[in-house]
Amino acid sequence: MKRFLGAAVLVPLLWTALRSAPPPGELKIGEPRTVATGPTLALPRAAFGDGVYLVVWQDGWTGLDATADIKGLRLKAGSLEPLDREPLTICSAAEAQEAPAVAYANGVFLLVWQDFRNGKDYDIRGAVVDAKSGQVRAGDLELAVRPGSQARPAVASDGKTFFVVWQEARGEVHGIRGVRVSTAGKVLDETPHTYAETGTSPALAISANKALVAWALKERTSGRTAAALIDLASGQKVREVGIINTCCGDRPAVADDGQDGFVTAAGRASAPDPWGWGGPGAVVLSRVQADGTTPESKLNYAYRLSNLCSRSVPNVVDAAVWKGAKTWEAGAVGGFPGTEDSLWPTGWQAVVHDGRGGYLFAWVKGTIARDRLNLSNLDVWVRGMDAQSLAVRVADRQAAATSADETRPALVNGPAGEILLLNERLQSGEPRRIEARRLDLPR
């Protein structure tokens, strides 16, 4: 009888303990570490290699008589302790150096950026930085210095060679171009490869034996995402994947899927308005699988994109939902009384494969002001999804949320189970900050 009573007491206690314990697979979000502060720093990006994260950003004025430079700082994986006494100055040429990107291969990082030193248009330049010492091995590299404007670079690596892509403007037409670059900083292609005759804002990732470049066909309030596959040995386009997303094309991001395919994330950065003319702010995913299939390319989006907010299409990471409305009735008399949660996705999406069969997404949401026209209190949110079923693994949660604005997130795979989250932090009356957080997956 005593044993029975003991079990009767023990079982409810055990059940209570299990209910209060964190669920399996819960993501642990570390405290923020300030990487850099200053009135004009922006656009942080990072790469990981040799146990080191190299965080890079632009720092300086970018308007008339621009002074923006490219800077960086190495952080030790795990502790995020800085390995440099002060930020490294990677490039401080005349005029503006902006929009840096970085990748790692064979002991070095390749940094690339858009450079306005000629005072007429942008070129793509770069530098090779030693991972262990932080020294610039090769600087002021001319990666795409040619007629027209080359801007918004992205870079990735297969561990031996770097691949750099950018948008190139000649007149009113933008196209997507790219080259391969050695770890010594030498351009390996006589002329840039053309991946698309029309497109902007390219993003790039590499899987087991190929690369995917994705780009926007239209930005801001609407758009589409298109992509192409690249052969690693030659840098040539081997397959035109075509349009993989027919509703969203703002600032696409790309990651491998841990096997031989890819996932992209793109947004609708439409501004909120009480009549709904711009459609809902949203973040969606699209996959390019190992066999070349694109499951989300054939999704049909309902009139005025109401199925984004209803989640009736399976690739929605987040979308604004009008309060009390089952459809997105743009132009309805009287407008709408805000959203269900008073929040509005506003883009700046990022994505990585978590190394455990899932994807981790980050994006920015803001609070809708009383006038239904403006956003405030921007925060970085994260969500984890299974790579095959798209089931939610990590429920939507705020990864960076304070009274300040957190924006422009970047996600970087580090050592096993660790992901680095970067973001900008903007607080009225204070300098800007670049913050870094560890996101730890369960072992």
Cβ-Cβ contacts under 8 Å for 410 (sequence gap 6 or more): 44, 45, 46, 350, 362, 421, 422, 423
Q: What is the pLDDT of residue 14?
A: 34
pLDDT along the chain (443 residues), means of 10: 36 34 68 96 97 97 89 97 96 95 98 95 97 95 94 97 95 90 97 95 93 85 87 95 93 93 94 87 95 92 85 92 85 83 93 94 93 91 94 93 94 94 95 96 73
Q: What is the pLDDT of residue 232?
A: 94
Superfamily of 33-198+405-443 according to CATH: Glycosyl hydrolase domain; family 43 (2.115.10.20)
C-alpha dihedral sign at 56, 57, 60, 61: positive
Cβ-Cβ contacts under 8 Å for 79 (sequence gap 6 or more): none
Helix (H) or strand (E) holding 350: strand 350-353
Give the domain ranges of the chain.
33-198+405-443, 246-401
**In this structure, what is the dihedral angle of CA atoms 72, 60, 267, 34, given to the nearest 10 degrees?**
50
Strands 200-206 and 193-196: unpaired
Q: Is 2 helix (H, G, I), strand (E, B) or coil?
A: helix
> Which of 188, 187, 345, 161 shows the shortest CA–CA distance to 271?
345
Q: What is the pLDDT of residue 337?
A: 82
> Which of 161, 135, 116 shows the shortest CA–CA distance to 72?
135
Q: Is 92 helix (H, G, I), strand (E, B) or coil?
A: coil
CB atoms within 10 A of CB 105: 22
Cβ-Cβ contacts under 8 Å for 286 (sequence gap 6 or more): 225, 244, 245, 263, 264, 266, 294, 295, 296, 297, 315
Report pTM.
0.92
Contact 358, 385 (CB under 8 A): yes
Q: Name the E strands within 92-188.
A: 97-105, 108-115, 123-130, 136-144, 149-157, 162-170, 173-181
